[in-house]
Amino acid sequence: MDLSKIAFDVPTLELGLTIVGGLLLIAMVRIVFLLRTNSRLRESTSKMEQQVLNQHHEILSVRSDSNAWRGEMQRMFDAFRAEFSKRLVESELRYKDVQQRSETAVKPAEVAAPPPPVPALAPAVITTAQEPEEPEEKVVLPVPALNIS
């Protein structure tokens, strides 16, 4: 298109200037809105980054707490296992001791002679019968519960 064919009269130039001015004004308003949106997005981005950092710190603290708890539970389990292993050995020793004492108590009773027979025409006197004294055995006590603190 050739500029010589366009008429440069005042109303045409005013119309062109109005259109260009309007487009410039619209572009300026759009730039202002985009700058405001951009600043809001930067603020929300910084807030999100801060949230991510906080969550990361929380995850690390929860992980370290769970590792500490797991270690404590493992130590308690090892302590219980050692304690009950010790108690099992002690109870087995007590059981063997009781079994040996019961075997030694049964053998002399078998070897002893039977009591003499009572005469058929015995006088009718009531006496209190004394039972032979057996050797006193130690009582096996139950294992007390552990105090967990």
- pLDDT tens, residue order, the chain (149 aa): 566 666 678 888 899 999 999 999 999 999 999 999 999 999 999 999 999 999 999 999 999 999 999 999 999 999 999 999 999 999 999 999 998 888 887 775 555 555 666 555 555 555 555 555 665 666 666 555 555 54
Assess if residue 116 is contained within a domain. Answer: no
d(CA 40, CA 82): 62
- Is 114 among the domain residues? no
Say whether pTM exceeds 0.85.
no
For residue 118, tell me if it sits in a domain.
Answer: no
Which one, of 110, 92, 106, lies nearest residue 135 by Cα?
A: 106
Give the span between the Cα atoms of 50 and 44, in whole angstroms: 10
| Number of domains within the chain | 1
Q: Are 140 and 94 in contact, with CB atoms under 8 Å apart?
A: yes
50 part of a folded domain: yes
Residue 88 counted as domain residue? yes
* 32 in any annotated domain: yes
Q: Is residue 133 part of a domain?
A: no
Does the residue 23 lie in any domain? yes
- Cβ burial of 91 (10 Å; 0-12, 13-18, 19+) is middle
Domain carrying residue 92: 9-108
